[in-house]
Amino acid sequence: MTRTIRPLVAGNWKMNGLKADLAIATEVAKGYDTGMKAAVDLAICPPATLLYLASAALLGSRIATGGQDCSTQDSGAFTGETSAVMLADTGATFAIVGHSERRTLHGETSATVKDKAQAAQKALLVPIVCVGETRDEREAGKAVAIVKKQLRGSIPDGSTAATLVVAYEPVWAIGTGLTPTAADVAEMHEAIRNELGRLLGKVTAAGVRLLYGGSVKPSNAAELMNVANVDGALVGGASLKAEDFLGIARACA
Ligand code: PGA
């Protein structure tokens, strides 16, 4: 953790959740007690179909909502796309962009991710920009170089600590139960902080929240959150169980 940064735990529901599952969100809100509120920010990123309802259900809870992706465009003939403006209109305040599932399954390049992050910022959403290496890239000793390259391509110029969150998610750790060692996370998060310093200036970089994501659970959250420059978590699978999500948030607080 970085002492001067208020941590953020964001849940990425991915393509999971029907109306009945909003009970997970309200359960989380019930468990988000005064002590946790004082120490950690929470956000829930349900599928777009539930975003308006989730925002309404969480009104007054101080839990934010976010989209899982956004278009590079504000509006127009882009069938099937959801714009950042539309996400903001539901009450959302975050947008995950560049998740590895988008980069891999939808061929999103860092240039596209940057355009999406810019669109999010223009709509006054805070983009959670995801970066991370594959297993092959890590085994080839290229993890840090790959992540730095993704950052250079994906981070909008002029981003500030208030308008940007970065999530380091090693692709091989997502949904696999595998996590990097604390030493590997420390090395990567320091490299990310330094690269952001080169891109945005040291003062700005020092305040940007750097989340770790990839198989975060209540049982490993404390160890991961104790690593220097880890300012919270982006949680997939475990965010679908209120108790697990709250357990991770508690470890962060
Ligand atoms: P996971 O997913 O926690 O299920 O590994 C993380 C993510 O994809 O954001």
Which of 8, 9, 12 to mutate for ligand 1's pocket (most ligand atoms within 8 Å of CB)? 12
Is the beta carbon of 215 within 6 A of some atom in ligand 1?
yes
How crowded is residue 34: how many other Cβ atoms within 10 Å of its Cβ? Answer: 7
Q: Would you say residue 158 has pLDDT above 90?
A: yes
Which residues are identified as catalytic? 99, 169
86 alpha carbon to ligand 1 midpoint, in Å? 25
Q: Would you say residue 253 has pLDDT above 90?
A: no
Is the beta carbon of 169 within 6 A of some atom in ligand 1?
yes
> Given this model, what pLDDT does residue 90 score?
98
115 alpha carbon to ligand 1 midpoint, in Å? 23
| Token pair of 243 as six digits | 């108790």
Beta bridge partners of 42: 9, 63
In eight-state DSSP terms, residue 156 is P
* Nearest Cα residue to atom 7 of ligand 1: 236
Is the beta carbon of 234 within 6 A of some atom in ligand 1?
yes
The pLDDT-based confidence of 178 (bands split at 50, 70, 90) is very high
In eight-state DSSP terms, residue 95 is E
Tens of pLDDT, residues 98-127: 999 999 999 999 999 999 999 999 999 999
> Given this model, what pLDDT does residue 147 score?
98
Tens of pLDDT, residues 13-33: 999 999 999 999 999 999 999
Is the beta carbon of 179 within 6 A of some atom in ligand 1?
no
Tens of pLDDT, residues 227-251: 999 999 999 999 999 999 999 999 9
Q: Which of ligand 1's atoms lies nearest the C-alpha of 174? A: 5
> Given this model, what pLDDT does residue 82 score?
98
CB 9 within 8 A of CB 41: yes
Tens of pLDDT, residues 185-234: 999 999 999 999 999 999 999 999 999 999 999 999 999 999 999 999 99
Domains of the chain, CATH where assigned? 8-97+107-183+202-241 (3.20.20.70)
Percent of the chain scoring above 90 in pLDDT: 98
